[in-house]
Amino acid sequence: MRPTTPTSSSSSPAPAGAKDSRSGPGQERKFFSRRKACRFCTDKVAGINYKDVPTLRNFLTERGKIMPRRISGNCAIHQRALTTAIKRARNIAMVAFAEER
C-alpha cells in the first residue's frame, strides 16, 4: 500500500528565474503593438519588379540584408516576391550584395 501523505509535486513553487504566464493585478503586462499593414497590399501593387531599385532599397538594412516580415510588415506572398526581386537585382548588380563597412 502507498502512504496517504499529500505530495506537493503538482503545487511546488516555481524556480527562481521562471516567469508566470498568468496575468493579474500585480503582474506586468506586455504591450503588443498593432501589426503593420503590407505596403504592397494597401497600394494594390500587381507585382514587384526587380528593376524598381528605390522600392527594393526600402526593404534592405544598411548592411544590405533583406528585412524580415516582422519588421517590414509585408504579408507572406509579397515578402516572398520581394525576396526574389531583391535576389534578381543583386545578380545583375542593380543592388549590392553587402554594403561597404
Query: Residue 89 burial (CB < 10 Å; 0-12/13-18/19+)?
Result: buried
CATH of the domain at 63: 4.10.640.10
Cell (9 digits) for 49:
519588379
18 assigned to some structural domain: no
Give pLDDT tens digits for 29-56.
677 677 778 888 888 988 899 999 999 9
Decide: 86 and 68 in contact? Cβ < 8 Å: no
pLDDT above 60 for 28? yes
List, in order, residues 6 or more apart from 79 with CB less than 8 Å away. 69, 72
57 assigned to some structural domain: yes
Specify the number of domains making up the chain: 1
Q: Which domain holds residue 77?
A: 39-91
Span 20-27, average pLDDT: 63
pLDDT above 70 for 88? yes
101 assigned to some structural domain: no
16 assigned to some structural domain: no
59 assigned to some structural domain: yes
Q: Which residue, 51, 56, 95, is CA-closest to 72?
A: 56
